[in-house]
Amino acid sequence: MQMLTKIPKQFYFFLAVLFILNLIQSSFTQLIFDEAYYWYYSQNMAWGYFDHPPMVALLVKISSFFFSGELGVRFMSCVLSAVNIILLWLMIDNPKKNEYIKHFFVLVFSMTLLNAYGFFTLPDTPLLFFTSCFLLTYKHFLKKPNFGIAIVMGIFMAALMYSKYHAVLVIFFVLLSNLKLTTNKYAWLAVAVALFCYLPHFYWLYENDFVSIKYHLYERPNGAYSFEKYTVGFFVNLVAIFGLTFPFIYKALFKTKGNDLFNKALIYLTYGVLIFFFVSSFNRRVQTQWIIIVCIPLVIIAFNYMLQNKQALTWIFRLGLINAVLIIYLRMGLAYQPLLFNFYYESHGNKEWAEAIEEEVGNIPVIFENSYRNAPMYSFYTHATPTFSLNNFMYRKNQYSIDDSEEQVRGKDVAYISKYANTPTFTYTREDGGLYKGRYISNFQSFRKLEAIVDENAITLNSDKAIDVKIFNPYNEDIDLKKLKFGITYMDDYKTPVQTLQITPRATQTVTTVLKQLDTTNFIFELPKTKKENIGYFRVVISENDLLYGLNGKAIPVN
């Protein structure tokens, strides 16, 4: 508290203005699709979710206690953003800093994604906040390690990991900057506290067959390497996160020396993250927000450099002001689309299309095929429940694949919205040109959790070898085989579907007509012949009641 009272009033004035601006922005800007998805998380609190740890859902849940609507999703992001700025200020030791408060706020405000996460509620929001918490605690730990500070640091390490799995990079590179921590008993205590606090998520992962880890490591969509899209795109992201100030920000990084362990940690963290994702760019497209962690150490590094270098101080302030003006204009455009002329962002028109579909279908459940984005957005703006995202072999699994949302729509009359509908009963065209095609289905039945298990590690393509497959029925009811069709989806080396062919597997036990509830049935089949080239994998898929095939088996490599 003593540190907070030493902060000048001018600092709190700028902070209050920024906080109020973020509150207003949050209230008048429609949700983006990822925010709607994380709002859906928060409707059923758990220790983990398909794509991410649970911290983002907790932020939404807490926000909903104070407000409704968009602010009920974003309020805690505004709070964390304001506190984060205080934490960044406290990590700067230069005694001249009080003379340059406005320069500090221009620096922070001019960082594009750091600005955006001042109100958007995404996993990176708590990641940024707890990175600052961890670094400030580590700064005090270096001065005087003790039992209390070790416990606090351990809690923040766990909070980092509860925010996003990328947080492991923060912890790892700080450790790498000071290997003597491996012999420090208080550092080991911090690790023990972090692991203890993280046990509920470890258990959730175990209970859910490590679904999140498998997705991020093996199943996340990817494509063929492109130097322009991947590696050049990575360098474009390095510029985008700082805008016009980027030359001076990176110059500050190059000029800063690790004269003490804390500055060394900041440098290691920045270079470590940048090198890690540079190497990753040769395998997959690096999303801009993946490198946002470096904004935290670079605020401290850049501002310290500004205080020591008059030219950097002047140019970062001038270019930062231009950045700020552009950002304010774009933020206004997020809330009011006409300012962006013909450009539609995902925060535009969602309430309108959701209400238009509700007016058409009434209060019956709505199922969106292959859209974990549209399903929660529709539910948020219409307050309609249940909604469901039914995923087929051309998409990917998500939270709707592992929760109980399918059970809530089974057996009901539903509106089914799919871009694959050939003869839709109704359509709706968004202002940005997006088209929704829907039809009505009575007594809807789907069994997307049927699991097809093939034990072989690799199969020879176009062979006549009989392959064993186990079909596990996790439902509390027998499923008539007449309702099901089985198929094989061939995929390329990047797991993009190439061809899907129907198969007729044969039961290896006595003749069976059903998949028994909570039981496994053994079948054999032969891979259908294909003339397609560049086949890297196949997947066993199942169609129920003439729906498109689902995602029932894992991708099996073929020779």
Helix (H) / strand (E) containing 429:
strand 426-429
Residue 522 lies in a domain: yes
Structure tokens at 444: 């809807």
Say if residue 553 is in the same domain as residue 437: no
- Spatial neighbors of 180 by CB under 8 A, at least 6 apart, are none
Same domain flag for 436 and 455: no
Angle between helices 124-143 and 295-308 (to 10 degrees): 60
Q: To 5 degrees, how large is the angle CA 79–CA 84–CA 85? A: 105
Contact partners, residue 532, CB within 8 Å, separation at least 6: 490, 498, 499
151 with 292, same domain: the answer is: yes
CA distance 76 to 81: 8
Kindly report the backbone phi and psi dihedral angles of residue 144, in degrees, each rounded to the nearest multiple of 5, phi listed first: -155, 85
Whole-angstrom distance, CA of residue 371 vs CA of residue 390:
8
| SS3 readout for 262-280 | HHHHHHHHHHHHHHHHHHH
pLDDT score of 10: 95
Residue 344 lies in a domain: no
Place of tokens 């259908």: 528
Boundary-marking domain end, from 307, 337, 367? 337
Q: Say if residue 395 is in the same domain as residue 489.
A: no
- pLDDT for 1: 54
Query: Same domain, yes or no, for 464 and 436?
Result: no
Choosing from 422, 441, 460, the residue where a domain stops is 441
Q: Find the CATH number of the domain harbouring 515.
A: 2.60.40.10
Phi and psi for 401 in degrees, rounded to 5? -80, -20
Q: Sort strands 366-369 and 387-390 into parallel, antiparallel or unpaired.
A: parallel
Q: How many domains does the chain have?
A: 3
Residue 540 lies in a domain: yes
Find tokens 């690096």 and name the residue. 286
The pair of structure tokens assigned to 309 is: 């270098």
Q: Are residues 262 and 232 in the same domain?
A: yes
Inter-residue contact 481 to 513 (CB < 8 Å): yes
Tell which of 441, 469, 494 closes a domain.
441
Angle at CA 324, nearest 5°, toward 64 and 15?
50
Q: Are residues 210 and 101 in the same domain?
A: yes
- Asked, for residue 373, whether it belongs to a domain, the answer is yes
Rounded CA-CA distance 56/77 in Å is 9
In a domain, 202, yes or no: yes
Q: Which residue has the tokens 């491996």?
A: 182
Helix-helix angle 9-28:71-90, to 10 degrees: 160
Q: Are residues 321 and 217 in the same domain?
A: yes
380 with 434: CB under 8 angstroms? no
If asked whether residues 397 and 526 sit together in one domain, one would say no
Give the residue numbers spanning the domain of 548: 451-557
Distance between CA atoms of 405 and 427, rounded to whole angstroms?
24
- Same domain, yes or no: 41 and 147: yes
Pairing mode, strands 451-453 and 426-429: unpaired
Q: 405 lies in a domain?
A: yes
Question: φ, ψ for residue 454 (rounded to 5)?
Answer: -110, 120
- Residue 343 included in any domain: no
> Per the domain annotation, does 342 fall within a domain?
no
- Averages of pLDDT over runs of 10 residues in the chain (559 residues) are 77 97 97 97 97 97 97 98 97 94 97 93 97 98 96 98 96 97 97 98 95 85 83 94 95 93 97 96 90 97 96 96 96 92 90 94 94 96 93 94 95 93 88 87 95 87 91 95 95 93 89 91 94 92 94 92
Q: Are 128 and 84 in contact (CB under 8 A)?
A: yes
What does pTM read for this prediction?
0.93
Quote the tokens at residue 315: 């140019």
In this structure, the answer to whether residues 120 and 149 fall within a common structural domain is yes
Pair 202, 327 in one domain: yes
